[in-house]
Amino acid sequence: MAKPLVLLLDDDPAITDAVSLDLEPDFDVICATGVDECVDRIGNARGAVDVAVIDMWIETDREGGLEAIRRIRALESPPECVVLTAYGTQPNIVKCMEAGAFSYVEKSGRIADDTTGLLVTAINRALETRHLKQLEAAQEQIKADERLKQDIQRAYEIQRSMLPQEDLLHAGMQFTGYCRPAENVGGDYYDYFALPDGRVGLLIGDVTGHGFNASLIMAMARSCRSTQTRIDPDVTPVMDALNRIVQTTGPDWLFMTACYLVIDPDARRYAYANAGHHFPLHYRADTRTAEPLESTGPLLGIDAGTTYEAVERSWSPDDALVLFSDGIVEAENATEEVFGENRLRDVVETHGHRPPSDLKQQIIRAVEAFSQGVPFMDDVTLLVAKL
């Protein structure tokens, strides 16, 4: 998967060289030393530049960075602008924000310091904001038929980019997922990610309904999860943060079910909380039985003050976890019979000893065979972990 593209505008070659080296592990970086060159490169890239990092004080003392921000923001599909400068006074910050900057990072005279971490965080937040703006733009242009097709496709690609792009192998455990929206964009979300302390986080969520409204709430939840796990990845803080963001930013008729787990490979234990989501299944390899992870709290978004306490369970090697959305168990056949949780449990208990990709495919095939070509009425999402 291509890295996000960042343009760096600074008239000091030592700064551009040093900052480029710091950013290149996470981003593709192109540089410009003047305002005209910067604007031309972004314009010629036709929306490919995701974030522009701009020194406010360039081209003598005429605040060329402010001119660059104004001209960039006037372009079609402009990148978000992050200001990087050594003059972090309140008046300068106000000037940058008024010109259209997204964020502001103060640099020091040293090449290697905490500035890099702050800058990477600011760029990542700008990328998430850019994604949300693109989704919102797609929704606003829904009445124009040709633009509608283009915007829905763009929104689909952006949403797909928010999901894991490949399977995860970590500490002998394997993780894989699948998501098929009922419309081009949907409200289902899943994620798996290694944490700095060696643990692994798993999250599945389902916003009520599907389509653009649900996808926007999903995008905000994804951004919230990403931010909170950098602060404190434990179950209760993450679930509480998700609950607050859904309750305070979404309309009062949209809610979200979610189940979040943190797996400790050393202790062979995991902690989880389930906010009204369909019960995930824990396949026990020694007994070849599947146990449900029952709800521990209400849906996200009902009450911002709800606290989601974690429940702990142990696991053994070759156990499996299967997390799924209601699109799996509520899939219907031609007689309007639903697939149901019992059929899903039977598939898991029959094939739970297989590698996670095989188990995932067995579940998908079973649902498709049951449906007999009847279209899925809801998003279909599946996350399988082999412990």
141, two tokens:
């242009």
Q: Is 115 helix (H, G, I), strand (E, B) or coil?
A: helix
Half-sphere CA count of 49, side-chain side, radius 13 A: 29
Distance (Å, rounded) from C-alpha 331 to C-alpha 143? 30
Q: 100-120 in b/e burial notation, b at 16+ Cβ within 10 A?
A: bbbbbbebeeeeeeebbebbb
DSSP-derived secondary structure letter, 332: B
Q: What is the mean pLDDT of the chain?
A: 87
Higher pLDDT, 204 or 153: 204
pLDDT digits (tens, 9 = 90+) for 319-378: 999 999 988 999 999 999 999 999 999 999 999 999 999 999 999 999 999 998 888 877
Predicted pLDDT at 218: 82
Predicted pLDDT at 184: 56
In this prediction, residues 173-188 reach a mean pLDDT of 79
Q: Which domains does the chain have, with CATH numbers?
A: 5-133 (3.40.50.2300), 167-386 (3.60.40.10)
Residue 376 · residue 182 · CB < 8 Å: yes
pLDDT digits (tens, 9 = 90+) for 23-77: 988 999 999 999 999 999 999 998 899 999 999 887 655 678 899 999 999 998 8
pLDDT digits (tens, 9 = 90+) for 82-127: 998 776 677 888 888 888 898 888 876 544 456 778 899 999 999 9
pLDDT digits (tens, 9 = 90+) for 116-169: 788 999 999 999 988 888 877 766 766 556 655 555 556 556 656 668 889 999
